[in-house]
């Protein structure tokens, strides 16, 4: 069955979204519209309603937390946990059973991401799940919801794209794929969120070629619930046609709306303390969730209220403990957000690092909350390290964007967008560069899922694709088959596996010759790269490795074997450069067995 739709999924820290478009394109000049999917979910006990977003929240309810039968879904009469809006509501009341920010834990290398560790604050007796399992349940809910609404177009038969932060490492991407596979997804394609946001802008603006010109540099700022991502996209030209090329991606910054909500909660906590009222850690967690809701209400378009009530349960049960009430004032909220997270800084101000020798185990949040300082470091270090000539620089070396595209829930607030843009333009003025202009987006909460669906059309040959070819030539080391000589290692040849400019989302099959692959025991794989050898075609073998080729850190792995340890299997090689910048080298045996080696081919700002 040919896919009827392309489906784009934003697996967000705070919210998930799904968009889709018909895969059939009758005219290349008129693409089918990208539509938003309203996700059926529990909004109150016993009430299922379609909502534009699925909150990334799980409530691991006990036998007395919700009335019997009130958690039934059209496709599941007894779900193991409540997902979505009702989970978010009940989680505010009982944070010990709330799983939130699973995506942030999914990329935390300091914990076992496949072990049951969430909710972190759950007491004994409350079951826990892993970040991978939480992600699986969100993805599974979206799959089941689609199948219930559209039984004529089974989810598994469609082209599916799932987005991840640009700064996700290889493990986090692999775990996202695992979560998708466990949720029943087949042949999933991963796409970076900032690129998806830019695709959404292209989809909404078919006249994009009239809005930018050759030499322009577009900064995509994506600030969501858990992470901040920066990406630079250059406008280039080829054969008289405008093209878009992703030229820089920032590091992983665990800093976003969660941090801002906690800052607001700490501020309200100080008010309680000044009034002689102390709250414990569980009440603080509830206050954190309530402050998030209050902030979102105050920042809604058209809301002119000067404050929003914040209420948490007192200690004790039922009415005995009572409630604790406060109010989040607009003036305080704006001051905390702007001064604490978006201060007006110099482009030479770099973010602070952690100094404590011992730290509490938990998510590795950024030590410096000033997103403007993180942006300054990205523009300075990325511009100075990037070899790409399309990075427009000022006299001091600062990368100088001509346009800015905002994305993410935090940037729905106009005051935040204005502060970021004004700070950037002060830096550009200091470089004697013209001010950057915003690229207006239509819906920051749904842009990523919409852009992913548009990219699905582009993969089918329709629409515009952002180029991101590898900026170097990559090789794999091949040990020469020669007699051993005492004290000397066997000579190394270098086989070109990814030629300069190989596009992301493409693959090559090197079927001209076979090599011997060692499986069943530890073996070292050596990869090399060259910035100057740009004409070596795929499959070209360098008999001698010269000074113009640099060796990367070797990779030691044990590939599985169906036979004896140390078996040497004849294989051909296949190369894939994924949409998220991973080079995958597949070793394919004659009997169809396949082994994968992979590493990142993108240059990033050093942490």
Q: What is the DSSP string of 69-85?
A: TTT-BTTBSS-SSEESH
96/127 Cα distance (integer angstroms): 10
* Per-residue DSSP letter, 310: E
Shortest CA distance to 75 belongs to which of 85, 83, 86?
83
Q: Mean pLDDT, to the nearest integer, of 221-228? A: 89
Confidence of residue 488 (pLDDT cuts 50, 70, 90): low
Pairing between β-strand 323-329 and β-strand 307-313 as defined by DSSP bridges: antiparallel
534/400 Cα distance (integer angstroms): 27
DSSP H helical ranges for 42-130 = 85-93, 102-106
Contacts of 210 (CB under 8 A, 6+ apart): none
Q: Which of 201-215, 220-234, 475-489 has the lowest mean pLDDT?
A: 475-489
**What token pair was written down for 227?**
């992470």
Shortest CA distance to 439 belongs to which of 406, 398, 401?
406
Positive or negative, the CA dihedral 603, 227, 174, 144 is negative
27: how many CB neighbours lie within 10 A of its CB?
8
Shortest CA distance to 327 belongs to which of 345, 300, 306, 344?
306
What are the backbone angles phi and psi of residue 164, rounded to the nearest 5°?
-135, 160
Distance of CA 108 to the CA centre of its chain: 13
Per-residue pLDDT tens digits for 410-429: 998 999 999 999 999 999 99
User: 235 and 254 in contact (C-beta within 8 Å)?
Assistant: no
| Residue 386 reports pLDDT greater than 80 | no
Please identify which residue in the block is written with the tokens 């990869």: 527
454/191 Cα distance (integer angstroms): 11
| Residue 469 reports pLDDT greater than 80 | no
Residue 518's H or E segment, with its range, is strand 506-519
Residue 213, exposed/middle/buried by CB under 10 A (0-12, 13-18, 19+)?
Answer: exposed
Predicted pLDDT of residue 510 = 92
Contacts of 188 (CB under 8 A, 6+ apart): 160, 161, 162, 177, 180, 181
Per-residue pLDDT tens digits for 323-377: 888 999 999 999 999 999 999 999 999 998 755 544 444 556 688 999 999 999 9
Helix (H, G, I), strand (E, B) or coil at 499: coil
| Residue 314 reports pLDDT greater than 50 | yes
Shortest CA distance to 217 belongs to which of 245, 254, 175?
245
Q: Mean pLDDT, to the nearest integer, of 368-389? A: 79
Residue 394, exposed/middle/buried by CB under 10 A (0-12, 13-18, 19+)?
Answer: middle
**What token pair was written down for 469?**
């070819």
423/440 Cα distance (integer angstroms): 18
| Residue 384 reports pLDDT greater than 60 | no
**Mean pLDDT across the chain, nearest whole number?**
88
Pairing between β-strand 47-51 and β-strand 54-55 as defined by DSSP bridges: unpaired
Contacts of 518 (CB under 8 A, 6+ apart): 559, 566, 567, 568
Length of the chain: 607
**What token pair was written down for 514?**
């076979």
Domains of the chain: 5-190 (3.30.420.40), 257-341 (3.90.640.10), 473-600 (no CATH)
Q: Is the peptide bond before 474 cis (omega within 30 degrees of 0)?
A: no
Percent of the chain with pLDDT over 70: 92
Contacts of 9 (CB under 8 A, 6+ apart): 16, 17, 18, 139, 142, 160, 161, 162, 163, 449, 452
Q: Show contacts of 73-79: CB within 8 Å, 24+ apart.
A: 73/40, 73/41, 73/42, 73/48, 73/144, 74/40, 74/48, 74/148, 75/144, 75/145, 75/147, 75/148, 76/144
Helix (H, G, I), strand (E, B) or coil at 395: coil
Contacts of 462 (CB under 8 A, 6+ apart): 25, 28, 31
Per-residue pLDDT tens digits for 105-115: 887 777 788 99
Of all residues in the chain, what percent are helix, strand and coil, respectively (each to 5)?
Answer: 25, 30, 45
């Amino acid at each position: 069955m040919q896919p009827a739709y392309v489906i784009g999924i934003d697996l967000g820290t705070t919210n998930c979204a799904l968009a889709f478009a018909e895969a059939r394109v009758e005219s290349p000049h008129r693409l089918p519209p990208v539509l938003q999917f309203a996700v059926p979910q529990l909004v109150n006990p016993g009430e299922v309603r379609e909502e534009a977003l699925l909150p990334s929240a799980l409530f691991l309810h006990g036998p007395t937390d919700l009335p019997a039968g009130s958690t039934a879904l059209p496709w599941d009469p007894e779900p193991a946990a409540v997902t979505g809006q009702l989970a978010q509501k009940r989680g505010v009341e009982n944070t010990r059973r709330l799983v939130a920010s699973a995506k942030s834990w999914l990329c935390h290398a300091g914990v076992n991401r496949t072990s049951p560790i969430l909710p972190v604050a759950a007491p004994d007796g409350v079951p826990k799940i892993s970040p991978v399992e939480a992600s699986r349940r969100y993805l599974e809910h979206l799959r089941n919801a689609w199948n219930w609404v559209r039984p004529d177009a089974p989810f598994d038969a469609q082209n599916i794209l799932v987005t991840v932060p640009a700064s996700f490492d290889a493990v986090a991407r692999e775990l996202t794929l695992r979560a998708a596979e466990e949720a029943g997804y087949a042949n999933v394609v991963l796409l970076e969120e900032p690129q998806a946001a830019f695709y959404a802008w292209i989809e909404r603006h078919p006249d994009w070629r009239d809005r930018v010109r050759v030499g322009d540099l577009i900064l995509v700022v994506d600030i969501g619930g858990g992470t901040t991502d920066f990406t630079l996209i250059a406008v280039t030209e080829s054969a008289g046609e405008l093209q878009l090329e992703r030229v820089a991606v920032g590091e992983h910054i665990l800093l976003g709306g969660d941090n801002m909500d906690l800052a607001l909660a700490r501020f309200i906590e100080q008010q309680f303390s000044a009034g002689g009222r102390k709250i414990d850690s569980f009440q603080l967690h509830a206050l954190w969730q309530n402050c998030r809701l209050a902030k979102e209400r105050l920042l809604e378009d058209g809301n002119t209220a000067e404050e929003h009530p914040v209420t948490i349960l007192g200690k004790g049960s039922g009415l005995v403990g009572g409630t604790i009430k406060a109010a989040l004032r607009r003036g305080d909220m704006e001051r905390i957000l702007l001064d604490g997270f978006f201060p007006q800084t110099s482009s030479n101000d770099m973010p602070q690092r952690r100094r404590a020798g011992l730290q509490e185990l938990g998510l590795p949040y950024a030590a410096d909350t000033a997103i403007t300082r993180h942006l300054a470091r990205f523009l300075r270090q990325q511009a100075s390290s990037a070899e790409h000539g399309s990075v427009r620089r000022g006299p001091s070396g600062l990368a100088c964007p001509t346009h800015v595209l905002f994305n993410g829930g935090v940037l729905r607030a106009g005051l935040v967008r204005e502060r970021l843009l004004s700070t950037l333009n002060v830096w550009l003025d200091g470089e004697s560069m013209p001010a950057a202009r915003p690229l207006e987006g239509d819906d920051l909460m749904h842009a990523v899922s919409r852009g992913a669906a548009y990219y699905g059309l582009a993969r089918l040959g329709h629409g515009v694709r952002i180029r991101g070819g590898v900026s170097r030539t990559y090789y794999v080391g091949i040990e020469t088959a020669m007699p051993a000589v005492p004290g000397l290692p066997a000579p190394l040849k270098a086989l070109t596996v990814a030629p300069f400019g190989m596009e992301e989302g493409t693959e090559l099959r090197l079927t001209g010759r076979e090599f011997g692959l060692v499986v069943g025991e530890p073996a070292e794989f050596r990869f090399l790269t060259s910035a100057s050898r740009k004409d070596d075609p795929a499959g070209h073998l360098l008999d001698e490795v010269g000074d113009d080729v640099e060796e990367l850190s070797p990779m030691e792995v044990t590939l599985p074997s169906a036979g004896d340890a140390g078996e040497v299997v004849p294989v051909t090689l296949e190369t894939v450069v994924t949409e998220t910048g991973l080079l995958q080298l597949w070793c394919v045996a004659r009997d169809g067995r396949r082994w994968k080696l992979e590493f990142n081919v993108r240059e990033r700002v050093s942490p």
